[in-house]
């Protein structure tokens, strides 16, 4: 029973990785769970991309028409990451996943 609880906790932590700033929770908890760390890195890259996008749009407001497109892309990538967690897969998210392997924490 305790093994199931640990797996559920790992899944919850991995899912949090894909919910914007909540990606910091698994990172700061520093679990020694390879599955959680993989998804935490993916989520962190996604969060950095989201933050960079919003900074660019705040500096260049004439690009406002792209806000919804980028917002939709980030949402779809988050959903893909969460689906991978639920399917217990360590699969890179499209576009950004390859950058996550370069992160060390």
Residue 51 included in any domain: yes
For the record, the structure tokens of 66 come out as: 């792209």
Indicate the pTM of the whole model: 0.86
Of 11, 3, 8, 6, nearest to 84 by C-alpha is 11
Ramachandran region, residue 95 (left: φ > 0; alpha: ψ -120 to 50; beta: rest): left
Look at the chain and report how many structural domains it folds into.
1
| Structural domain range at position 11 | 2-100
Residue 35 included in any domain: yes
> What pLDDT does 3 receive?
63
| Res. 1: pLDDT tops 60 | no
Residue 105 included in any domain: no
Residue 15 included in any domain: yes
Q: Of how many residues is the chain composed? A: 105
Residue 12 included in any domain: yes
- Looking at residue 64, the DSSP 8-state letter turns out to be G
Residue 64 included in any domain: yes
> What pLDDT does 92 receive?
92
Residue 87 included in any domain: yes
Residue 26 included in any domain: yes
> What pLDDT does 32 receive?
83
Average pLDDT, the chain: 89
> What pLDDT does 64 receive?
82
pLDDT band of residue 6 (cuts 50, 70, 90) is confident
Chain centre distance of CA 66: 21
């Amino acid at each position: 029973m305790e093994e199931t609880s640990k797996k559920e906790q790992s899944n919850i932590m991995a899912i949090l990785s894909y919910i914007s700033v909540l990606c910091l929770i698994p990172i700061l908890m520093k679990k020694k769970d390879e599955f959680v760390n993989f998804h935490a890195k993916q989520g962190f890259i996604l969060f950095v991309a989201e933050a960079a996008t919003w900074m660019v749009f705040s500096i260049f407001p004439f690009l406002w028409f792209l806000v919804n497109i980028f917002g939709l892309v980030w949402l779809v990538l988050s959903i893909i990451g969460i689906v991978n967690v639920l399917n217990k897969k360590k699969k890179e998210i499209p576009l950004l996943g390859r950058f996550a392997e370069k992160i060390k924490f």
